[in-house]
A and B are shown apart, each in its own frame.
Chain A
């Protein structure tokens, strides 16, 4: 079945630093790809998504491009803020035709002022 491998954390950066969190996937076909964010004590929120190859998802200054050549969906942000401190999950549809998600292991990001 489909699977996703995510860069292990934790990641600690200073405010205004550049962020990259790597995510690669194994999948049958070309499933939609997602990044979710989990703030402390909260559930998951969708950060961005891409539904087909070469699509770029973006939100709140974060971007990720669906690259089928490298089977990757890396998350990037040019200048992080303290408020970006959270756990980030890369995800994709587990099975074609279903809406079950399979998640990466999560990357804990801490931004220091």
Chain B
């Protein structure tokens, strides 16, 4: 079945540095991917929609300049957390819809746990 791969699975970085998280669709093309953030013991919150060939669309309250999204190809989207701070520590999950399945659930990556020290 369709698989979405996310890398790295965990990362620790120092405050002020930037971290890039990759999301790949392994056996299908994804013109759209979604980035979610999950706080400990809380639900997933949609951050932004990554669009291949155009700018990402961000949900209300999400800082565009802090969370840079680039949909480099039909199989790759990246999320860069710029100038990370401890409050950015979270679990970030990407997802992608399988083509031809408009009413189908999304396929999710295994997530990236970011810890900013």
Contacts and interface: CB of A to CB of B under 8 A. Distances in A.
The answer on A and B forming one complex is yes
Interface of A: 32, 34, 36, 42-46, 49, 51, 89, 94, 99-106, 108
Given A43-B109, A43-B111, A100-B49, A32 B103 contact: yes
B78 to A, nearest CB: 17
Contacts, number: 48
Q: Which of A89, A103, A104 has the most CB of B within 10 A?
A: A103
A70 B111 CA distance: 34
A44 B41 CA distance: 14
Nearest to A9: B41
Contact of B108 (A32, A44, A94): A44
22 contacts: A32-B105, A34-B105, A43-B6, A43-B93, A43-B108, A43-B110, A44-B93, A44-B108, A49-B105, A51-B103, A99-B32, A99-B34, A99-B106, A100-B46, A100-B49, A101-B34, A101-B46, A101-B106, A103-B44, A104-B43, A105-B42, A105-B43
